[in-house]
Amino acid sequence: MKKILVLVLALVMALSAVSALADITIVQNKVEIDAALQEYAAEFSKEAGYNVKVITAGGSSDYNTALKAEFASGKEPDIFVIEGPTGYELYKDKIADMTGDEWTQYTTAAYMDGDKVVGFPVSVEGYGMAYNADILAKAEIDPATLTNVDAYKAAFEKLDSMKDELGLDAVVSMVAGTAPGMTWVTGLHNFNVYLTVGLDRNDTSIIDQVLAGEVDEERFHAYCEYVALIFQYSDPEMLLNGTQDMQLAAFANGKTAFYHQGNWMDPNIVALNVDFPMAYAPHAFLHEDTDGILVNAPSWYVVNANGNVEQAVDFLNALATTELGHDYMVNKASMVPAFTNVTLEPATPLSKSVMEWNAAGKTYSWQQYKLPDGFGMGTLGAIYELLASGAIDEPTFEQMMKDAIATIPTL
Amino acid sequence: MEKQKFFSGRRERKITETLFLVPTVLAFIMVIIVPFIIGIYYSFTDWDGVNAAKNLVGLSNYTTIFTEPAFLHAFLVTLEFTVLNVIAVNVVAFLMALLVTSQVKGRNLYRAGFFVPNLIGGIVLGSIWQFIFASILPGVGKAVGWGWLSSSMITNAKTVVGAMVTVNTWQYAGYIMMIYVASIQGISQQVMEAASVDGATYWVRVRKILIPLMANAFTISLFLTLTNSFKMYDVNLALTNGGPVAMFMKTPVQASELLALNIYNTAFKYSKMAQGQAKAVVFFVVLVVVSLIQVSINKSKEVEM
């Protein structure tokens, strides 16, 4: 009996010696990098002498609600993700200042509050109209010409008429359903096309106008027609029922020519062994040429000032400065890193396309996260779904969108 | 001996009994009573759920929610769902109870089989049925050429409540069946036999003897299904997430968003914690009133042998 007691005591002491450095918890929102990040965190923990626990909530479920639940339950994470000003304002009181920390010298994409550096850019991400280059070649469409809405219209019509010949189910793989949780594609990402395409990266005139409850009539009309055009050439069942996996499967199996998603889908594309060449064409909804895709640091890691700040910052420094960290970001998670000291190049098709557009300087910014909480996914997402289901036509869609935007100042 | 004396005194025993209650009562106060009172307080503020800043705003949350189409719609859909669901679950459960208490072959197997869906969690169940409604049924419909089956029930605002009732009945009827089974087995066989000697057919016996004598089982089953339907959340979230979209009071609303999901979305998705709390208080009051009415009506129908 005594022996056992001594053994237990020794074990307890040994365990408490190991955990002298407090463990840290990360709550993050990218399902597609979950496995890679878990693996990296495990490897990092071995060297660092403390454990890094990764909790992932996102994709079809809602990261923001999960994070609020974590905070409400008192299990505050040490590192979590903000997606822009809305998230930052919400958690401002809890976010630590990282000005002068090692990683900050290698990036220009950090999240800033005035002169304070507060957010570590997770990556840069981009989206546009991903296309299957083989199908476009067979239909004799040059993707480089897809820089205005008239070119898109002609290309969609041509592909639609050749559907049987090319083995297509629909021209575009697009989703808009609430039930499978895909309204972020329409209400946030697609809506951002209206907010920034054709504008300078620092030009916030359209989003400022929207936040004041107004729209630019001519531009907005062109945008709504573009949405209707995409929906018209999408599979109606996919629009309402499609999940992220179903949407990708249609494109990856060569059943659609275009795919409305970002380069964060790369790991899934690799997993499906897709062998046709693909790249991004711009979301060109205007009659004038707009030659660029939508690229931004979509989210930032922030450190909880009430947590284990030292270990958390250590973790981020290692991510930005060690070979292991770079290998994780580029090769394992297939992300486009926001850091200038990274020399690795992504091997996956969509990330490569984002890097090329980015290097050419042909990018438009993301402003959709300035919308009030739930407005894009919930309020606007519902109106997109109505259009997708055929319950309303394009003019009604336009009017309802305007009415919804007009309520923003009262929210 | 000292110890025994301590426990045998009347006063001491009372203290002991009270002490045994303390952990449970304490837990109940901490996780039910205190949050409930704090929740009522929050419903009079403008708290967003995260930041420390909150101001008292009086009754404005309550006046706002009663003009909000999404909330009013959620109320109506919840009522619709509850009525359909209470009927469906109880009718199916009662018929299943009759089946498994009859002389039919393999009745024990049925009994186990009917109960099994109740062991599956709501979220898992919702996800599985979402796949069935979104992919399998339309696939079958297309294969055999039935137009009505070839589009998903859960993306049509008219059929989505029916889909939820189907799933909830599939899950919950087995549990309610067990209550009816216990009640049927508690009824004396002599009464039933006497009636059958008098020439009463099976259905007459069910209607005139079984159902009146089972009144207390109906009270409890109706109460359980009523409150369960009103508070439905997990299947709602996993199966439809509130979708599809319908028009209500000239505003787009979520056609299958029940009250609990609406409250959750208000508090967490739209960051309006205080407004969500106000809705929750209203929800609580309605639920209490409705279930008190139901129990008192049912109680008055109960008979003694």
- Which SS3 state, helix, strand or coil, does residue A131 take? strand
Q: Which residue of B has its CA nearest to A181?
A: B241
Residue with tokens 């207390």: B216
pLDDT at A10 (0 to 100): 54
pLDDT at B150 (0 to 100): 79
* CA nearest neighbour of A76 among A22, A18, A123, A38: A22
Note whether B270 contacts A378, CB cutoff 8 Å: yes
pLDDT at B49 (0 to 100): 80
As for how many domains chain A has, the answer is 2
Beta-carbon count within 10 A of A40 CB: 23
Of the candidates A178, A181, A374, which has its C-beta nearest B244's C-beta? Answer: A178
Q: Which residue of A has its CA nearest to B138?
A: A237
Note whether A378 contacts B269, CB cutoff 8 Å: yes
The answer on A135 and A115 residing in a single domain is: no
Instruction: Fill in the amino acid letter for A152.
Output: Y
Cα distance between residue A169 and residue A233, in whole Å: 10
Of the candidates B52, B239, B271, which has its C-beta nearest A93's C-beta? Answer: B52
Partners of A373 on chain B (C-beta within 8 Å) are 269-271
Cα distance between residue B260 and residue B122, in whole Å: 14
Note whether A179 contacts B247, CB cutoff 8 Å: no
- Mutation target vs B (from A82, A185, A389; most B CBs, 10 A cutoff): A389
Q: What angle do CA A129, A228, A355 make, to 5 degrees?
A: 15
Band of residue A359 on the pLDDT scale cut at 50, 70, 90: confident
Of the candidates A178, A374, A375, which has its C-beta nearest B242's C-beta? Answer: A178
Note whether B254 contacts A382, CB cutoff 8 Å: yes
Pairing verdict, β A129-132 and A258-259: antiparallel
Answer whether A262's CB lies under 8 Å from A59's CB.
Answer: no
Of the candidates A64, A374, A389, which has its C-beta nearest B244's C-beta? Answer: A389
Band of residue A293 on the pLDDT scale cut at 50, 70, 90: very high
Up-side HSE of residue B210: CA atoms within 13 Å toward CB? 24
pLDDT at A11 (0 to 100): 52
CB contacts under 8 A, A 206-235 vs B, are none
Q: Which residue of A has its CA nearest to B155?
A: A240
- Which SS3 state, helix, strand or coil, does residue B56 take? strand
Comparison of pLDDT for A60 and A68, the residue scoring more: A68
Q: What percent of chain A has pLDDT over 70?
A: 94
Note whether A178 contacts B154, CB cutoff 8 Å: no
The answer on A132 and A101 residing in a single domain is: no
The answer on A380 and A291 residing in a single domain is: yes
How far does the CA of residue B178 sit from the closest CA of chain A (Å)?
Answer: 33
Mean pLDDT of chain A, nearest integer: 89
- Could you list the pLDDT tens digit for every one of the 305 residues in chain B? 455 555 567 888 888 889 999 999 999 999 999 999 999 999 999 988 877 778 899 899 999 999 999 999 999 999 999 999 999 999 999 999 999 998 888 888 999 999 999 898 888 888 899 889 888 898 898 888 887 887 788 888 889 999 999 999 999 999 999 999 999 998 888 888 888 888 888 888 888 888 988 988 999 999 999 999 999 999 999 999 888 888 888 888 999 999 999 999 999 888 889 999 999 999 999 999 999 999 899 888 877 65
Cα distance between residue A74 and residue A82, in whole Å: 19
Cis peptide upstream of residue A372 (ω within 30 degrees of 0): no
The answer on A223 and A172 residing in a single domain is: yes
Cα distance between residue B242 and residue B232, in whole Å: 12
Residue A350 lies in a domain: no
- Which SS3 state, helix, strand or coil, does residue A240 take? helix
Answer whether A224's CB lies under 8 Å from A216's CB.
Answer: no
Strand partners, B226: none
Answer whether A263's CB lies under 8 Å from A363's CB.
Answer: no
Q: CATH number for the domain including A290?
A: 3.40.190.10
Residue A274 lies in a domain: yes
pLDDT at A59 (0 to 100): 58
Burial of A115 (0-12, 13-18, 19+ CB in 10 A): exposed
Of the candidates A91, A180, A374, which has its C-beta nearest B269's C-beta? Answer: A374
The answer on A155 and A254 residing in a single domain is: yes
How far does the CA of residue A306 sit from the closest CA of chain B (Å)?
Answer: 14
Residues 6+ apart with CB under 8 A from B80: B161
Burial of A377 (0-12, 13-18, 19+ CB in 10 A): buried
Answer whether B280's CB lies under 8 Å from B55's CB.
Answer: no
The answer on A304 and A281 residing in a single domain is: no
| Phi, psi of A304, rounded to the nearest 5 degrees | -75, 115
| CA distances for B201 relative to B101, B131, B193, B212, B305, angstroms | 17, 44, 11, 16, 21
- Which SS3 state, helix, strand or coil, does residue A216 take? coil
The answer on A93 and A77 residing in a single domain is: yes
Answer whether B245's CB lies under 8 Å from A382's CB.
Answer: yes
Partners of A70 on chain B (C-beta within 8 Å) are none
* Greatest mean pLDDT range, A195-204, A229-238, A367-376: A229-238
How far does the CA of residue A177 sit from the closest CA of chain B (Å)?
Answer: 7
How far does the CA of residue A61 sit from the closest CA of chain B (Å)?
Answer: 10
Of the candidates B243, B264, B265, which has its C-beta nearest A177's C-beta? Answer: B243
Residue A356 lies in a domain: no
- pLDDT tens, position by position, A105-160: 888 778 888 889 999 999 888 999 999 999 999 999 999 999 999 999 999 999 99
Q: Which residue of A has its CA nearest to B272?
A: A373
How far does the CA of residue A108 sit from the closest CA of chain B (Å)?
Answer: 29
The answer on A260 and A140 residing in a single domain is: yes
Query: Using alpha carbons only, how large is chain A's radius of gyration in Å?
Result: 23
Instruction: Determine contact: A385 vs chain B, CB below 8 A.
Output: yes
* CA nearest neighbour of B84 among B172, B150, B181, B213: B172
| Region of poorest pLDDT, from A248-262, A312-326, A346-360 | A346-360
Beta-carbon count within 10 A of B22 CB: 9
pLDDT at A342 (0 to 100): 82
- Which domains, and CATH codes, for chain B? 2-42 (no CATH), 68-301 (1.10.3720.10)
| CA distances for A161 relative to A119, A171, A179, A231, A258, angstroms | 48, 10, 31, 16, 15
Note whether B270 contacts A374, CB cutoff 8 Å: yes
* CA nearest neighbour of B232 among B3, B77, B19, B21: B77
- Mutation target vs A (from B50, B136, B137, B160; most A CBs, 10 A cutoff): B50
Comparison of pLDDT for A173 and B268, the residue scoring more: A173
Instruction: Determine contact: A17 vs chain B, CB below 8 A.
Output: no
Residue with tokens 């089974």: B181
- Which SS3 state, helix, strand or coil, does residue B195 take? helix
The answer on A208 and A69 residing in a single domain is: no
Comparison of pLDDT for B181 and A6, the residue scoring more: B181
Note whether A374 contacts B151, CB cutoff 8 Å: no
* CA nearest neighbour of B122 among B239, B231, B243, B263: B239
pLDDT at A8 (0 to 100): 57
Chain A to chain B, count of Cβ pairs less than 8 Å apart?
87
* CA nearest neighbour of A217 among A395, A4, A18: A395
Instruction: Determine contact: A68 vs chain B, CB below 8 A.
Output: yes
The answer on A321 and A291 residing in a single domain is: no
Cα-Cα-Cα-Cα dihedral sign, residues B104, B105, B109, B110: negative
Say yes or no: ipTM exceeds 0.85: no
In SS3 terms, A278-289 reads as EEEECCCCCCCC
Cα-Cα-Cα-Cα dihedral sign, residues B264, B265, B268, B274: negative
How far does the CA of residue B160 sit from the closest CA of chain A (Å)?
Answer: 11
Partners of A178 on chain B (C-beta within 8 Å) are 240-245, 254
Residue with tokens 């190049």: A345
**What is the maximum span of chain B, computed from C-alpha positions, in angstroms?**
84
Band of residue A15 on the pLDDT scale cut at 50, 70, 90: very low
Alpha helix (H) ranges present in A183-321?
183-184, 191-196, 205-211, 217-232, 236-241, 244-252, 266-271, 309-321
**Chain B: residues touching A (Cβ < 8 Å):** 48-52, 130, 134-135, 138, 151-152, 154-155, 239-245, 247, 252-254, 264-265, 268-271
Comparison of pLDDT for A55 and A17, the residue scoring more: A55
The answer on A380 and A284 residing in a single domain is: yes
- pLDDT tens, position by position, A65-82: 888 888 888 888 999 999
pLDDT at A16 (0 to 100): 47
Note whether B245 contacts A68, CB cutoff 8 Å: no
* Domain range enclosing A168: 126-295+362-410
DSSP 8-state class, residue B253 = E
Q: A364 pLDDT exceeds 80?
A: yes
The answer on A103 and A48 residing in a single domain is: yes
How far does the CA of residue A129 sit from the closest CA of chain B (Å)?
Answer: 26
